Amino acid sequence: MSGEFPVRLLCEIMNIRRSSFYNWKRRLSHPAARTRNWVDNVMLFQRYHEKYPSHGYRWLNAKIRLDTGLKMSDPYAHKCCKAAGIKSKAKHYKYKKPGSPGKIFPNLLLAEFKIDGPMQCVVSDMTAFRVKGTYYELTLYMDLWNNEILTYSLSAKRGDRMTYISGLESLIELKKQYPGLETILHSDQGSVYASKAFNELLPMYGIKHSMSRAGTPTDNAAMESVNGWIKAELFTDFHVTGDEPVEKEIDEYIRFFNTERPAYSLNYLTPQEYRTVHSFIA
């Protein structure tokens, strides 16, 4: 309105000083470095949220730090995300109360033993999803020490027992690098995990089977959590559509998970970074 009416008159009507108006106008045209930096950071979080919409401000902050080296506190990151209206789009799942103890194999994780190195405890589970109407089962084997996905197997056949066996055989090949180490393999009480074909391989390679209690997914909480994040990220962040071979898209995601994805439980290091740092310390 200053182009239509004298500034003096407008300031008198609004009961402000002319000097205050000109100071505001100058700040608007030439913002302070702190203000420019704030706007840049808000836009940076917005770009990362558009790429990884399933995550909240802490993870986005860790990913920005990993990719760019830019260090911001979590409260500042929260402030940036709040200004941009950023909220995680991931679903949150509720788990059932613990059930009765399993009878097939005891739950060795209940002993709360200390895990201080690779291949001491490996957890496994299967997650299912659909792409363009095709049903897929993805079986994962994850090292509980650094949350690294050691091996995995994908099948488009429902209840494919060889998906589990194939992943186990790949795990056994890795286990050969630790010949004197007893590894605990923890799973649920699924029929394949309880089968003779699956379990007869384990003792020969120093692997001891452990199982969650019946109807108690919280006994394998780390694996259940990863399963939830994987499905959220595959379709929300990586936009898996089936336009490319699903096997290739899963391969790319597993590489991202192990080498580029900061993990809260690892103090926002990636599994690969955690392995490198703690191998160096050791």
Q: How remote is the C-alpha of 80 from its chain's centroid?
A: 21
Q: Is 102's pLDDT higher than 50?
A: no
Per cent of the chain over pLDDT 70 is 92
Pairing of strands 183-187, 121-131: parallel
92 Cβ partners below 8 Å, 6+ apart? Answer: none
Summarize pLDDT for 39-76 with one digit per residue, the tens: 899 999 999 999 999 999 999 999 999 999 999 999 99
Tell whether 124 and 78 lie within a shared domain. Answer: no
pLDDT of residue 280: 57
> Is residue 190, in this structure, part of any structural domain at all?
yes
**Are residues 158 and 19 part of one domain?**
no
Place 24 in a pLDDT band, splitting at 50, 70 and 90: confident
CA 212-198-168 angle, 5° bins: 90
- pLDDT(100) > 70: no
What are the tens digits of pLDDT across the range 196-215? 888 888 888 999 999 988 77
Do residues 59 and 120 share a domain? no
Q: In the listed set 43, 69, 84, which residue is the last one of a domain according to the structure? A: 84
pLDDT at 95 over 80: no
Residue at 68 is within a domain = yes
CATH number, residue 243:
3.30.420.10
Q: Where in the sequence is the domain holding 170, given as residue range(s)?
A: 108-281
Backbone angles phi, psi at 224, to 5 degrees: -60, -40
Tell me what the mean pLDDT of segment 182-198 comes to. Answer: 89
Domain boundary, last residue among 52, 84, 116: 84
Number of domains in the chain: 2
Look at residue 223 in the predicted model and tell me its pLDDT. 87
Residue 70 included in any domain: yes
Residue 216: CB partners within 8 Å, gap ≥ 6? 96, 98, 99
3-class SS string, 212-250: CCCCCHHHHHHHHHHHHHHHHHHHHCCCCCCCCCHHHHH
